[in-house]
Structure 1
Amino acid sequence: MSGGEDAGAELDLTNAHLPSLDEVDLPSGLTSLDLTANRLRSMEPNLLALTGLRRLCLRQNLVSQVAEVEALASAPVLEALDLRDNQLKALPSLAAFTSLRYLEVSYNEVRSLAPLSSLGSTQLTELFVACNKIAAIESLERLALLHTLELGGNRIRSLEGLSQLGLLQELWLGRNRIAELGDCLSSLHNLRRLSLQSNRLTSMAGLQHCTALEELYLSHNGIEQLEGLDRLVNLKILDVANNRIQRIGNLGVLQLTDLWANDNQIGSLDEVEAALKSQRGSMSCVYLRGNPCAAGTDYKLRMKFTLPRLEQLDDSPVA
């Protein structure tokens, strides 16, 4: 992590193999400190005492005590805090962190988002809590300015808890246990990227309100048909690979650049050609391998003819 106009106020100790900060001189005027990939087990006194830190990165250490995070003297001015890949079992109370805009706590053992209700700031715009043990989306009501939310690799079953995030632009929820969308996305009119890969979806119903979507990732689910796309006029990338889709359709209003539909059950190449004719002016990348329709010897030739702008077909560039 770097930043700030005064280069002398930055210190990068990445990969310094430090088990402790006891013998490290941390200038009192530091505004940015990067301690990535060390062996620190605690937030030591000389670190806690720094009052001017705006950016602190403790990624890939062994920190486990949330009370030490809460004790940072720089809390009122800290704008970016990175605690990714440590040993935290809970989120710290962030009541004193009134300037925080970026928070990263992925790859820990956090079970609940409830401590976010104590956040002393409504300025948070980026929140990353991937690969923890989160079971529910909660305590985000005050984070109205949030534009990026990463909760992939958790234990989430429901999308409830997103209704106040009207400015959200990116939502990453891959590798959870979500079985349906329902109306939980109805307020996300500014969402541009949505990932629900590797969940338990059987239907795409519920996407119709996300009219700003540009990228939609739904691979590795149990989806049986393409639906709910008629209002997504801004969509450019659609990933429905590794599902149970039998035919490509309902693309008429779209101008896709990328379609990833490999490893489904799409049988008719004639139907594929007919469905993709509306994409002739935009589509440059198509993945259909792993479907019966891609087994014929004329598959590549027919796809090139159907899509004159095609640059990538499955794993091969189109000459």
Structure 2
Amino acid sequence: MSREERVLSDTDNENTNEEIETGIDSPDESSSGLFTAGRSLQSNVIEDHNPDYISADAELAAEIPDDTEVIDLVHLKVLALEDLNLLRFKNLKKLYLRQNLIESIAELEVLPLENMEEIDFYDNRIKHISKSVNLFSNLKTLDLSFNKIRTIKNVDKLVNLENLYFVQNKISKIENLGTLTKLKNLELGGNRIKEIGPDDLKGLANLEEIWLGKNSIPKLINLQHLKNLRILSIQSNKLKKFEGLEELENLEELYVSHNFISKIEGLENNLKLTTLDVTGNRLTKIENLKHLTHLTDLWASDNQIDQPFESLGEELGKLPEFETIYLEGNPIQTKNPTQYRRKIMLNLGESLQKIDATYVRA
């Protein structure tokens, strides 16, 4: 089968015409504070100042021993998997083909299906998830970030998958994930998701981290299936309030920066919370946190917080593990430029170590 035929067969009869690009609707398009487990949702095109000759695809893999367990061909303008002659690598466990020009991944079926643990196609030109992906029943990690994928499909048989990355694609719906019962980390930041449906996350009881930054989600709902969730990142969406967190009793880190939230509330059952990021919202007061005895970090810069320092101390001053607070860009800081740090120190507990990225004691 030719490369052109394989690309077409990989679409599963879907329309391959590109839609006109649209900007992602979020409250702060310029925000760089998008937490995706070390992955930035923003990318820059870097000019190649060394346009040296790059070998043909077939030559790139020619010198790799047949018994290798890892293939790492990054940023080499690989166009087609067929030319890499992947069939000969019978012991392969990990395949990294980041930052290439690959459009079709149907050829993956020639790999040793039982052996494969990691497949990484970060930053290519993939539009559709080939049916061949579903053949890797022992796969632990699949990264298809920074591609052109519109639909989550052909991953439902990856029952041993633990990490699934779809950052910066064109996905509009969370779907076909219910069978991935061992999944621990799901990254969907920088897509076109507008809601979390009632059954979208059903079956993901072992999920520990979900990253949904820079979508267009208006409500925190339908999260009750995620009983073991530790990290929830839903920055730069359209949230207006805290809600739907009652059953996330294992939640440790909550990132909701750059939304439209006006009040801290609804965290009564999240007693394991250590980090709360509410940067860039519409808060006027720090409140309803004094019961969170494990809280170490509160990031609340660039809101409208304007309350007495004594009130702030009543809320946070007795938290035994509290270490870091960010309040810069709020009236409480801008109106008190000379006394701000001293009053924060006086009213918060002895455990405080850092105010606005500066340590309390050198």
Using the size of structure 1 for normalisation, the TM-score is: 0.90
Helix, strand or coil for the counterpart of 1:40? Answer: coil
Per-residue deviation, residues 97-146 of structure 1 (Å, max 9, x unmatched): 121111000000000102223x3x31001100100000000000110110
Is the aligned partner of 1:196 residue 2:238?
no
Contact residue 257 and residue 282 of structure 1 kept, 8 A: yes
CA RMSD of aligned residues (A): 1.7
Q: Percent identity?
A: 37
Is 1:100 aligned with 2:150?
Answer: no
The whole-number CA distance in structure 2 between the counterparts of 1:146 and 1:188 is 11
Match of 2:329 in 1: 290
Q: What is the aligned partner in structure 2 of residue 266 from structure 1? A: 305
2:58 counterpart SS class? coil
Match of 1:275 in 2: 315
Q: CA deviation at 1:30?
A: 1.4
Q: How far apart, CA to CA, are the structure 2 residues paired with 1:286 and 1:300?
A: 11
CA distance in 1, matches of 2:229, 2:204: 10
- 1:47 corresponds in structure 2 to 86
Match of 2:72 in 1: 34
User: Does the 8 Å CA contact 1:77/1:98 hold for their aligned counterparts?
Assistant: no
| Residue number in structure 1 paired with 2:213 | 174
Aligned partner of residue 275 in structure 1, secondary structure: helix
Q: Is the 8 A contact 1:18 1:40 kept in 2?
A: no
Unaligned ranges ≥5, structure 2: 1-51
| CA displacement at 1:72 relative to structure 2 | 2.8
Aligned 8 A contact 1:36 1:60 in 2: yes
For residue 148 of structure 1, what is the aligned residue in structure 2? 185
- Counterpart CA distance in 2 for 1:214 and 1:17 is 46
Contact 2:209 2:230 in 1 (8 A): yes
More displaced, 26-35 or 55-64? Answer: 26-35
Match of 2:292 in 1: 254
Partner of 2:358: 316
The residue that corresponds to 2:63 in the other structure is 25
Match of 1:221 in 2: 259
Which of 107, 113, 118 aligns to 2:152? It is 113
CA distance in 2, matches of 1:39, 1:157: 34
Q: In the alignment, which residue of structure 2 is the partner of 1:122?
A: 159
Q: 1: distance between equivalents of 2:179 and 2:72? A: 29
Using the TM superposition, give the Cα deviation of residue 76 of structure 1 relative to its aligned residue in structure 2, in angstroms. Answer: 3.0
Aligned partners of 1:163, 1:227: CA distance in 2, in Å?
A: 25
Higher relative contact order (CA 8 A, sep 6+): 2
Q: What's the counterpart of residue 10 of structure 1? A: none
Instruction: Provide, for residues 184-224 of structure 1, a one-character-per-residue CA deviation record: whole Å limited to 9, x for no partner.
Output: 11121110011000000001111111110111100000001
SS at match of 2:110: coil
* 2: CA distance, partners of 1:109 / 1:261: 34
Q: In the alignment, which residue of structure 2 is the partner of 1:237?
A: 275
C-alpha deviations, 1:125-173, integer Å up to 9, x for none? 1100100000000000110110000000000111221021000000000
Task: Please tell me whether the aligned partners of residues 220 and 243 of structure 1 are also in contact (alpha carbons under 8 angstroms).
Answer: yes
Identify the range of structure 1 (295-304 vs 232-241) with the bigger mean alpha-carbon deviation.
Answer: 295-304
| 1:38-77 to 2 correspondences below 5 Å | 38-43=76-81, 44-69=83-108, 71-77=109-115
1:95 CA drift (Å):
2.8
Paired with 1:45 and 1:147, the residues of 2 have a C-alpha distance of 32
- Runs of 4 or more, structure 1, over 6 Å off, are none
Seen in structure 2, the aligned counterparts of structure 1 residues 29 and 219 have a Cα distance that, compared at 3 Å, is same
- The 2-side partners of 1:16 and 1:263 are apart by 48
1:58-81 Cα offsets, whole Å, 9 max, x none, are 011111113223x33323321110
8 Å contact kept, 1:26–1:46: no
Aligned to 2:24: none
* Distance in 2 (alpha carbons) for counterparts of 1:113 and 1:28: 33
* Structure 1: gaps spanning 5 or more residues: 1-14
Distance in 1 separating the partners of 2:178 and 2:55 = 39
Question: Residue 3 of structure 1 aligns with which residue?
Answer: none
TM-score under structure 2 normalisation? Answer: 0.79
Corresponding letter in the other structure for 2:239: L
